[in-house]
A and B are shown apart, each in its own frame.
Chain A
Amino acid sequence: MMNLLPDAASAHAGGIDQIIVIVHWLMAILFVGWGAFFIYVLVRFRQGRNPRADYVGVKSKLSTWLEVAVAVVEAVILIGFAVPIWAERVDQRPPDEEATVVRVVAQQFAWNIWYPGADGVFGDQDIMLVDEETNPIGLVRSGNGADDITTINQMHLPVDKPAIVRISSKDVIHSFNLPQMRIKQDAIPGLQIPVWFVPTVTTAEMRTRKGDEDYNYEIACAQLCGNSHYSMRGFLTIDTPQEYQEWLDLEATYLSGGDEDDFWAE
């Protein structure tokens, strides 16, 4: 069943896959148990073989014990796996200084990926500055925002370092889904919600592993967001730290040039 799931490429993916497998074992046991009983009784107690039914039927209390057993297993899964995994995802986010921090601003139908630039501080946003052609997130290109890097649908992260992604939306609810990272978080307008994970396999390494030169980690939208929802696809590239820095440097070169900034923006 593990190989039915997408390739796993983050530190916590194993834990999520494990609980999925455990729950499915429980389901399989129950289903096979029920199924075997079901087939047996259908054959054994068909009218042709058993013309007069037994008024009482099963007398044993076995089923009660089975119920209790199911409840206990569920409690173990809940307390032993589900709650701790969730707590790790929500409560044990590393401090910003130890992580790569990226913001994602979703819109119909694209992912704006936003890096704080060399100063490590995100600039301000002003919706009056939104210009879909040149500044879709309404970034104030002065002060902290002067060196901020924005892309559309292209996210890069360094491998083996915690990444914190702060997710928001400009318009409707989207859902930021990184299948290979086992990350999914709704992008809700009016809120900024962080997720974190540690990518463990670079894109290049995954390409070698899969023998597929075009392999890419993808960003999918998992929440219906309008007519072109199905095509709201982004890309996540996991780089070595050096490649990541080179990419940031390249992006920074696009910022230079031009005489003065958006003086016509109101």
Chain B
Amino acid sequence: MGFWRKYVFSIDHKVIGIQYAVTGLLFLSCGFCLMMLMRWQLAYPGQPIPFIGSWLGDTRAPGGIMLPDFYNQLGAMHGTIMVFLGVVPLAVGGFGNFVLPLQIGAVDMAFPKLNMISYWCLFVGGVIMLGSFFLPGGAAQSGWTSYAPLADIAPTGQTAWLFGMIFLITSSLLGSMNFIVTTIQLRAKGLTFFRLPFFVWAQFVTSFLLLLAFPPLEAAGVLQLMDRLAGTSFFLPTGLVVSGEILQVSGGGSPLLWQHLFWFLAHPEVYVLILPAMGIVAEIIANNTRKPLWGYRSMVYSVIVLGFLSFVVWAHHMFITGMGTVMSSFFQTTTMIMSIPSVILLSCLFISLYGASIRFNTPMLFALAFLPMFGIGGLTGLPLGLSAPDIALHDTYYVIGHFHYIVAPGTIFALFAGIYYWFPKATGRRMSEFLGKLHFWPSLIFMNGVFMPMFIQGFAGVSRRLADGGVTYSFAGNVTPLNRMMSWSAWGLALAQLPFIINFFMSMRSGVKVGNNPWHATTLEWQAPSPPPHGNFTQDIVVSHGPYEYSVPGQKEDFLPQNQPAEA
């Protein structure tokens, strides 16, 4: 195989997985950089950005002072990049592609070429998104939610955003079909559904969410494109007057239609962000507690229920649009019901620690930190899921704090855990534990330094998406000084990632060489060579029991690989 076929237009799920993962990591750092710029503006509104302010140009930051237009671009693109180009490619595309076929004992994905196409769709979408910063008027600036009519009348960047989204959605759709078929068709002999590692279950449910939730957004994106380019009025009501001029459109559309279509995707999308992370955490916790996951079956049922329920809660994002009692009661009830499988999942992971023999290595530290961090994120969802408290908290920093706890110290910690955990499988070398811990502890502290004050600001009523962090409003006066602490924490968080970056590259070249199963794990990916060759396994895989047979009484070793029959 030539270089291009092997490393660029590869159809090997592991190479594609690594492509996804590296792309995801690059976009995560890109989205992080956008956020650091925003945090300057929030901490020191109206003051010139040091060092790089003068590079940004007069349309973004004349004299280094950030214009609100540019702030809004950064905000919209931070959200878009983090969600669609950072976390999803890394969690689903990266870990899903690399780990899932190995864990089910398959030689590759069911449709290798489709897999390649879905990566390159993502790549094109990402290039469009980044390129949109250089369009006249800049990138999309109507929030990652792109609410119409604002997005309908926004500058050209919004068109690029929509095209970019169509590529990203297509990528996810192709990928999700591949995962579903692979999981159903390519499991190793003896690997029944209830012998699947929880990570596979999480990816499997995630794929259904992607498959069913993304098409409405794809349709909505096309409709918004039509509104912008073809003069339709799907989301534009009659009689709009923008900046004193009557908007020349046919009208008759509904701005709320966009919100329904968007949130019909975007709520399941939240679970797309969180379920793979939970899958990773479950693997690492089982491995490092040296005991089976507690309540594996109820976890599987919970994740399936969660998947279904995630389709019937979307309008809890829209309580403030003028919802009646019946509708709001329905969506509050479904949302509260949703909290039950979530609590079960989290409880099972907590309880799994009881009776364990816990190894505190770097992946485990990140996985353990995920639990309380995700706990905070999940719990703060409760007041937001009820319409009455939502009157006070809707669209405030409380919301920002809530979902960032879920996706930043939640999902992203889980993703780091996964990188440290599966790095030896991908490279044959282990990452440095010292640098790993140097990465973990400051990250944990700074993450909380960034997000915890958001709840206080949210209580005080500070709205999100304010280009000056709220200093315009006197009711926010008591809590806006927190912005500086949050910003310094964010910049500290950036520094805390340096050990990771060093560790990542150094370990790739000169990390400690390890065998096929350095963590003494039970799941099938550890039965393949490290790194696995094209085709993955060197022996036939026949599975004889469940995924987490650790510390089985009567066994000499404290782990029993899935394909290894128990000693008599």
Contacts and interface: CB of A to CB of B under 8 A. Distances in A.
- In the complex they form, do A and B come into direct contact, defined as C-beta atoms under 8 angstroms apart? yes
Contacts of B246: 127-128, 130
A141 interface: no
Interface in B322-376: 322-325, 328-329, 332-333, 336, 339-340, 343-344, 346-347, 350-360, 368, 371-372, 375-376
Contacts of A172: 147, 149-150, 153, 242
Interface in A1-36: 1, 4-7, 15-17, 19-20, 23-24, 26-27, 30-31, 34-35
A45 B463 contact: no
B68 A228 contact: yes
A134 to B, nearest CB: 11
Given A41-B353, A63-B347, A190 B254 contact: yes
A191 B343 CA distance: 39
A222 B353 contact: no
Contacts of A16: 388-389, 391-392
Nearest to B321: A186
B131 interface: no
Contacts of A248: none
Contacts of B372: 31, 34-35, 38
B343 A67 contact: yes
B533 interface: no
A1 to B, nearest CB: 7
B382 A26 contact: yes
Interface in A116-143: 127-128, 130-132, 136, 138
Given A16-B389, A89-B391, A170-B240, A45 B339 contact: no
Interface stretch (B22-30, B110-118, B289-297): B289-297
A227 B358 contact: no
A47 B550 contact: no
A193 B387 CA distance: 17
B525 interface: no
A220 B153 CA distance: 23
B355 A56 contact: yes
Nearest to B549: A55
Nearest to B244: A132
Nearest to A35: B372
B388 A82 contact: yes
Contacts of A50: 355-358
Chain A: interface secondary structure?
mixed
23 contacts: A23-B382, A34-B375, A53-B290, A55-B552, A56-B355, A57-B292, A57-B352, A83-B332, A85-B388, A107-B241, A108-B243, A127-B241, A127-B246, A128-B246, A175-B395, A179-B460, A179-B475, A180-B475, A185-B320, A220-B473, A222-B395, A229-B68, A229-B465
Interface of A: 1, 4-7, 15-17, 19-20, 23-24, 26-27, 30-31, 34-35, 37-38, 41-42, 45-47, 50-58, 63, 66-67, 70-71, 74-75, 77-78, 81-83, 85-87, 89-91, 107-108, 127-128, 130-132, 136, 138, 170-173, 175, 177, 179-180, 182-186, 188-191, 193, 214-216, 218, 220-231, 233
Interface of B: 67-69, 72, 75, 141-143, 147, 149-150, 153, 237-244, 246-247, 254-256, 289-292, 294, 320-325, 328-329, 332-333, 336, 339-340, 343-344, 346-347, 350-360, 368, 371-372, 375-376, 379-380, 382-383, 386-389, 391-396, 456, 459-461, 463-468, 470, 472-475, 550-553, 558
